[in-house]
Amino acid sequence: MIEKRFDPKKLNKLNNPERYKLLSPDFIVSRAGLLNPKTIIDYGAGTGFYSIPFVERFKGAKVFAADISEIMIEWMQEHLSAYKNIIPMRMEDNKI
């Protein structure tokens, strides 16, 4: 089976606010039943696009922004450093 992975050259597409119209952070919070979480895992975080609204909404929570791509981890470390409660972390493919 051939795996399809995101092309890092197109990572700006991941930060397009139009994505919130398709899948809003409010919808995710509602469906997950999140009330006041202390820990959130953004699995397949990419650029941390959804990590930001989660950490802004749940002020005390830590958001572990997990991705398999070292390029994405480096991008988050560089661009999300102002968000101290977003912790970019590299994960292994197909493992939680």
Six token digits for residue 33: 């039943």
Tens digits of residue pLDDT in 25-78: 999 999 999 999 999 999 999 999 999 999 999 999 999 999 998 989 999 999
Q: pLDDT at residue 89 above 80?
A: yes
Neighbouring C-beta atoms of residue 11, cutoff 10 Å: 16
Domains of the chain and any CATH numbers: 17-90 (3.40.50.150)
d(CA 74, CA 2): 25
